Structure 1
Amino acid sequence: MLKCPSWRCLKGLWGFLGLIGYYCPLVAGYKPICSISYQAIAQRCISCDPEAEEAFKYLKQAMVSILILSLPDFCKPFILETDAFGSEVATVLTQGKGLVAYFSQTLSDSAQRKSMRTVKNIPKYAPAQFYIDNVLHRIKEKKIMALKPFVDRLGYDNVPPEINRLRCRVNYHALKFLPEIEQMADLLVSRMRNRTGSSNPYMALHLRFEKGMVGLSFCDFVGTREEKARMAEYRKKEWPRRYKNGSHLWQLALQKRKEGRCPLEPGEVAVILRAMGYPKETQIYVASGQVYGGQNRMAPLRNMFPNLVTKEELASKDELAAFRKHVTSLAALDFLVCLKSDVFVMTHGGNFAKLIIGARRYMGHRQKSIKPDKGLMSKSFGDPYMGWATFVEDVVVTHQTRTGLPEETFPNYDLWENPLTPCMCKA
């Protein structure tokens, strides 16, 4: 190995790197040192400058003096040391005086740009001071930053009023979409209003009944034994810790249903809307992913409200092709069409629906936003002796105060859904 001559051709360089590549995890700093060689291959040229010669000699010496890795003992603590310089990152895992593993990597240009503009591992419900101390100076330097993860990062307790007002500016003023998304959303809204040949109001229904949502809810829904068995296997695979052996899930599902923490099924939504007085001719835009159960699950809703469409039915494949490249672009279209609807109906929680209701309240609550009382509805649906007239009365009375009117806020209240006090009241 030590007598191996310095490479003078690409074939010889490839052969040397292939020989030692198998042992790269055992050599500290392997990737940064070899980067000169790989750059030579990429450029199709051979360099004999002193830096390349030194790297070549170091690798040959490292191959004959490799430190033997220790077997890990998972009953003892590990020490993980990391370092970064330029475009190189490296880490060493040790245990006591023994080396367990090495790792190093050269970041691509895109990864370098992304890492420079990303703040990661922000704690959930962090105080405002955390952002002032850890994020503000980076935003001033880079001008634009990405926060990961992003949801529920800023807390609600003891937040200065000016910070909450800034939240409102971000939600309802700074939130902008690409021009092509705005134009496509306006086109969808126009088509919704003119589906019958004359201008008509329309309802937007945010239907959260995708397979992932149904599985994550751990609620029980109408279905055959085969469907329930497949869902049980899906939950066991995706959430094994929550699933355990499955014996406790039936009682849990009943409790969540009584507390109103289960997504409404399409058929349940249809019955509630009809009880509220919406006629069969109502134009409904459905904002949803692929509904669990497909057309069979959607049949009761579609039978009671046949004028029900999605963006895929309003626009051609060619018109939506550019937006299918990014799931967030399709969600943005749904967001804008729902925001501009005459009536918005949410069927389950989530930031999408909360932000729409909050924005409509902020703009003066002139448009109705319906948030069904799922807890009360579960009791009504489960009463076999309740007649239609009684059910209609319960629905109407219950939802008189659940149509998007302003509500008084209280500590830990979700600001996105109800921006009244922090955003709209002036001293």
Structure 2
Amino acid sequence: MDVRSEGNQVRYYDKFHAPVIPRNRFRVWFIRVCLSIVLWTCLVQLMTVNELWHFNFFSGFTSRIYNTTQRPLQGDVRFAQPPPTLLPPRNYTSNGFLRVSCNGGLNQMRAAICDMVTIARLLNLTLVVPELDKKSFWADHSGFEEIFDVRHFIDSLRDEVRIVKRVPKKFSSKNGYSTLKMPPVSWSNEKYYLEQILPLFSKHKVVHFNKTDARLANNGLPIELQKLRCRVNYQALKFTPQIENLGQKLVQILRERGPFVALHLRYEMDMLAFSGCTRGCTNEEAKNLKRMRYAFPSWREKEIVSEERRSQGLCPLTPEEAALVMQALGFDRETHVYIAAGEIYGGERRLAQLRAAFPRIVKKEVLLALDELQQFQNHSSQMAALDFMVSVASDTFIPTYDGNMAKLVEGHRRYYGFKKSIVLDRKKLVQLLDLHQNGTLPWNNFADSVRQVHEKRMGQPAYRRVIVDKPKEEDYFYANPHECLCEGTKCDNLLDPHNSSQVR
């Protein structure tokens, strides 16, 4: 090292200039980091633009990124298959943005989403990913993306309707736009939406449907709209990978034990309060149900006579009644029964007779470890999604009430191959149960009568021949409008049985 003196200053000169090389490397490293941040920021922005405007290239690109990040369930061939090729997006001029807030439980919201997609297609709208109910009895704060596969939902329908995650900021109130909030009229046909709803978009650009249950007519719609409604239900609405994987694990555990029955025991507090059915409840329990009914303004009917409602077949079977009916139908003590339900009102006291008749009763809380269910706890819709998957896959499905879940599960079971679903005739069953329990109808006669009543309610295909679109080709439809088949896609409410012009 050389030392030179210049007046009072002393300067040191390092022959090797050691500090210079690390400083240059640091600069190169810093530049690379900055470039990486800029590139990733650009990619995120492009992905956002793609969601809003659905550019072809980036839609396919982001979809491939998404699909490669999903881990398939081992041993399940369906999840191991490569992602399907994206259909080209439908090219149309959007008339505005449709926001929807679904109300009700999981399956009521699912049916509503099918309707909202169909309405968006009919009116040439851009649909915003639906908002799910967070204020109902279940108080589940799950968003759409926590229950359904958002990317699959958007991509699988891109050839029919444009779907975005949010309304673009330029349509906000700051820019002079106002969102119209309204509930559409229930059970409306396409004329109502074309003549009364569509003109609203020319003024507001964004319309928010704050209620979506049963807002589209079941029958009398064009066949194309009914097919789209079915396509959403059976193909586009897919649960998240987390729900799918855990649901498949549940099914696998049950199948290893042998054939099993999924009993949708709709004897939960909300159902009983809504329907006013108190059979088998204590006086205090009946009072609690009535208080709950009054606590929900949207439940319009307040004063209900339970026994009168039951005699009309409008009450879900009690756990005790379900046990007798299943025994009469021929299920023995060795039958594996999966209870597809939330908390049974009255707890284990009400399940005692059912457990005595069928000791091999299980629920998801028993089959899965606590840590596996932990992420779904306090999320009733996600828990219901697991029950939905098990019910669809079961060897026999028995709903004790014909609500939204029962109808949707029955439809899916027909879609996946005519699996047996026993649709109980509760009105006739109530009469038989009362006669048996008061000693008038012996067991053998009771069992024979129950089997006779349900002989044609076991989910057997019941066809009608129908001509659709093509005059030289025939498609087969089910006589029951809830159980129909249209060109490879099963559809809900496709055929109106009262319209004789459709049936030959």
TM range, smaller chain:
0.5 to 0.7
2:275 to 217, 220, 232: 217
Please name the residue that 1:344 is paired with: 397
Provide Cα deviations, 1:222-271, integer angstroms capped at 9, x if missing partner.
23334334444444555696335xxxx4xx33332222111100110011
CA distance in 2, matches of 1:241, 1:159: 29
Q: 1:419 to 1:171 in 2, by over 3 A?
A: farther
Provide Cα deviations, 1:148-171, integer angstroms capped at 9, x if missing partner.
433212102420111111122112
For normalisation by structure 1, the TM-score amounts to 0.62
Please name the residue that 1:204 is paired with: 262
Pairwise CA distance, 1:350: 1.4
2:270 is paired with a residue of what secondary structure?
Answer: helix
Q: 1:223 to 1:327 in 2, by over 3 A?
A: closer
- Structure 2: runs of 5 or more not aligned: 1-164, 173-178, 467-478, 496-501
Provide Cα deviations, 1:314-360, integer angstroms capped at 9, x if missing partner.
11121012223633221111111110111001011211110110111
Does residue 313 in structure 1 map to residue 366 in structure 2? yes
Does residue 243 in structure 1 map to residue 297 in structure 2? no
Asked whether the 8 Å contact 1:347–1:372 carries over to 2, the reply is yes
2:262 is paired with a residue of what secondary structure?
Answer: strand
2:252 to 147, 167, 190: 190
Q: 1:163 to 1:321 in 2, by over 3 A?
A: same
Pairwise CA distance, 1:112: 7.1
Asked whether the 8 Å contact 1:335–1:356 carries over to 2, the reply is yes
CA distance in 2, matches of 1:192, 1:317: 18
Does residue 382 in structure 1 map to residue 437 in structure 2? no
Pairwise CA distance, 1:193: 1.6
Q: 1:178 to 1:152 in 2, by over 3 A?
A: same
Pairwise CA distance, 1:380: 0.9
Q: 1:175 to 1:391 in 2, by over 3 A?
A: same
For normalisation by structure 2, the TM-score amounts to 0.53
RMSD value, Cα: 3.6
Please name the residue that 1:160 is paired with: 222
Pairwise CA distance, 1:192: 1.0
2:422 to 340, 345, 370: 370
Provide Cα deviations, 1:15-49, integer angstroms capped at 9, x if missing partner.
xxxxxxxxxxxxxxxxxxxxxxxxxxxxxxxxxxx
Please name the residue that 1:56 is paired with: none
Please name the residue that 2:450 is paired with: 395
Give the aligned residue type for 1:419. Answer: C
Provide Cα deviations, 1:285-312, integer angstroms capped at 9, x if missing partner.
1111111101101111111111111111
Please name the residue that 1:256 is paired with: 309
2:455 is paired with a residue of what secondary structure?
Answer: helix
Give the aligned residue type for 1:276. Answer: L
Q: How many aligned residue pairs are there?
A: 300
Asked whether the 8 Å contact 1:280–1:304 carries over to 2, the reply is yes
Please name the residue that 1:36 is paired with: none
Percent identical among aligned pairs is 35
Asked whether the 8 Å contact 2:276–2:290 carries over to 1, the reply is no
- Structure 1: runs of 5 or more not aligned: 1-109
Does residue 295 in structure 1 map to residue 360 in structure 2? no
Give the aligned residue type for 1:177. Answer: F
Bigger mean CA offset, 400-409 vs 355-364: 400-409
Provide Cα deviations, 1:359-386, integer angstroms capped at 9, x if missing partner.
1123331x11011111111101111210
CA distance in 2, matches of 1:351, 1:181: 20
Q: 1:182 to 1:119 in 2, by over 3 A?
A: farther
Provide Cα deviations, 1:75-100, integer angstroms capped at 9, x if missing partner.
xxxxxxxxxxxxxxxxxxxxxxxxxx
Provide Cα deviations, 1:163-192, integer angstroms capped at 9, x if missing partner.
111122112122211111111111000111
Give the aligned residue type for 2:451. Answer: V
1:177 is paired with a residue of what secondary structure?
Answer: coil
1:264 is paired with a residue of what secondary structure?
Answer: coil
